[in-house]
Structure 1
Amino acid sequence: MGLFSAILGAPLAPLKGTVWVAEQVHSEAEKRYYDPSAIRRQLEEVSAAKDSGAISDEEADKLERDLVARLLESTRRRKSKENP
């Protein structure tokens, strides 16, 4: 059975490889997007930009809300991995 499935599955090998690579890229992108230290660094950058006048208070508030939401989601994801 293994030989037949290998022969029949051979044409799909490039597709399977592409899907695997896409899954790996997606996983790494999520890790970076929800990395708490990166989010905190971005919050500090927003605060510095607001203090220097590079962005308005309204823009800073929106960015901060989005970053805090990501940080909360990061915490939720970590807890769900620890307690499946």
Structure 2
Amino acid sequence: MGLLSSIVSLPLAPVRGVIWVGELIQDQVERQLHDPAAFRSELEEIDRAAASGDLSAEEAEQAQQAALDRMTGSEVGPIDRKE
């Protein structure tokens, strides 16, 4: 029965391969997003940009908060503020 089921499911092999590659990519992206070394280097880059004047204090704070939100997974979508 194993040979018969293998032959019948053979056309689905490319789909399984694509799913497997997608899962590998997702795992790698999640590892990179939650890597403490990448997080630290991002914060250091924000600090350097703020120190050189490329970012204002408010922009630096927003960038740091965005990085922190990504690291903790508490990222919230954009909010339209009408003032």
**Residue 35 (structure 1) aligns with:** 35
The size of the alignment, in residue pairs, is 73
Q: Does the CA-based 8 Å contact 2:33-2:71 persist in structure 1?
A: no
Q: How many Å separate the matches in 2 of 1:30 and 1:67?
A: 14
Deviation (angstroms), 1:14: 0.5
User: CA–CA distance in 1 between the matches of 2:58 and 2:9?
Assistant: 55
Report deviation, 1:69: 2.5
| Contact 1:46 1:64 survives alignment (8 Å) | yes
Q: Check conservation: 1:39, 1:70, Cα contact below 8 A.
A: no
Q: Which has the higher contact order (CA 8 A, sep 6+)?
A: 1
Give every structure 1 segment of 4 or more consecutive aligned residues whose post-TM-superposition deviation is greater than 6 Å. Answer: none
Q: What residue ranges of structure 1 are gaps of 5+ in the alignment?
A: 74-84
The aligned counterpart of 2:46 is 46
Identity %: 40
Which of 1 and 2 has greater Rg? 2
SS at match of 2:4: helix
TM-score, structure 2 length as denominator? Answer: 0.80
2:79 corresponds in structure 1 to: none
Structure-2 residue corresponding to 1:59? 59
- The CA RMSD measured in Å over matched residues stands at 1.2
Unaligned runs of 5+ in 2: 74-83
Q: Deviations over 1:5-54 (max 9, x none)?
A: 20111000001001101110110011011101110110010011001101
1:12 maps to amino acid: L
Q: What is the deviation of 1:56?
A: 1.5
Structure number having the greater helix percentage? 1
